[in-house]
Amino acid sequence: MAKTETPGTGKSDTFLVPGFKFIIQYSIILYYQLSTINYQLSTINYQLLIMNLQPILENENVKLSPLDQNDFEELFSVASDPLVWEQHPNKDRYKREVFGNFFQGAMESGGSFKIIEKESNEIVGSTRFYDYNPEDNSIFIGYTFYGTKFWGSKLNPQVKKLMLDYIFQFVDQVNFHVGKDNIRSQKAMEKLGAKKTNEVNVAYAYEPERLNVVFEIKKENY
């Protein structure tokens, strides 16, 4: 910053050295960018605060409760059947060590459930919410599996309806990852009204990357 005297006036004018002026302008721009980022983060945090990813969801036949560390043995007894994973990209989840990694990822996700069939009060499988995206206000439902004795029992459509009815109070789109060769689950997605949109490699928590088909359901079409 420097001062000059205007001829004949005796008054001095203050002007900014060009480099200093640039610093001020850049600081103002940076301030507004940081303010925008802080606002976006506040919005995301608020959205996640009101959007509980582990509510208790239930109807007359099935109940979804937050997965607990103590559920491991009962859930593994369901998952230890190799047939459960026959069409899944990670076919060895029936092994205790591999399922242990799957279970750890479920616990760390903050959105995992145990699925309880009410008549028997059995844990019959698991599912979860994951990968919330604030840019398009979307989330994924997945990592879902059921014991073979409940295949064809119509539990899955009821579970998906409970989850979709709940989460569409907060998001505009729900996505699903389905293994490329998991034809059974792809047909289930189509019955729900989901549309295939892409094929991507998915890095599962603590597991190898696998090719998946992406399906989506938009709120306005639900």
- Rounded to the nearest integer, the mean pLDDT of the chain is 86
Q: Would you say how long the chain is, in residues?
A: 222
User: What is d(CA 16, CA 24) in angstroms, rounded to the nearest whole number?
Assistant: 10
Please give the share of the chain, as a percent, with pLDDT higher than 70: 78
**Structure confidence at residue 3 (pLDDT):** 47
- pLDDT grade for 204, boundaries at 50, 70 and 90: confident
Q: What is the pLDDT of residues 133-189, one digit of tens each?
A: 999 999 999 999 999 999 988 899 999 999 999 999 999 999 999 999 999 899 999
Q: Which of 125, 136, 214, 127 is nearest to 166 (CA)?
A: 127
- Residue 101 contacts by C-beta under 8 Å, 6 or more apart in sequence? 205, 206, 207
**Structure confidence at residue 162 (pLDDT):** 98
Whether pLDDT at 16 is above 60:
no
**Structure confidence at residue 35 (pLDDT):** 54
Whether pLDDT at 99 is above 80:
yes
**Structure confidence at residue 13 (pLDDT):** 53
**Structure confidence at residue 39 (pLDDT):** 47
- pLDDT grade for 203, boundaries at 50, 70 and 90: confident
Q: 7 exposed, middle or buried (CB, 10 Å; 0-12, 13-18, 19+)?
A: exposed
Task: Give the number of C-alpha atoms closer than 13 A to the C-alpha of residue 188, restricted to the C-beta side.
Answer: 22
User: What is d(CA 143, CA 115) in angstroms, rounded to the nearest whole number?
Assistant: 12
Q: What is the pLDDT of residues 63-75, one digit of tens each?
A: 999 999 999 999 9
Whether pLDDT at 14 is above 50:
yes
| Average pLDDT of the segment spanning 118-131 | 96
- Residue 93 contacts by C-beta under 8 Å, 6 or more apart in sequence? 79, 84, 85, 99, 102
Interior/surface letters 44-68, b for 16+ CB within 10 angstroms, e for the rest: eeeeeeebebbbebeeeebbbbbbe
What's the pTM value of the predicted model, to 2 decimals?
0.77
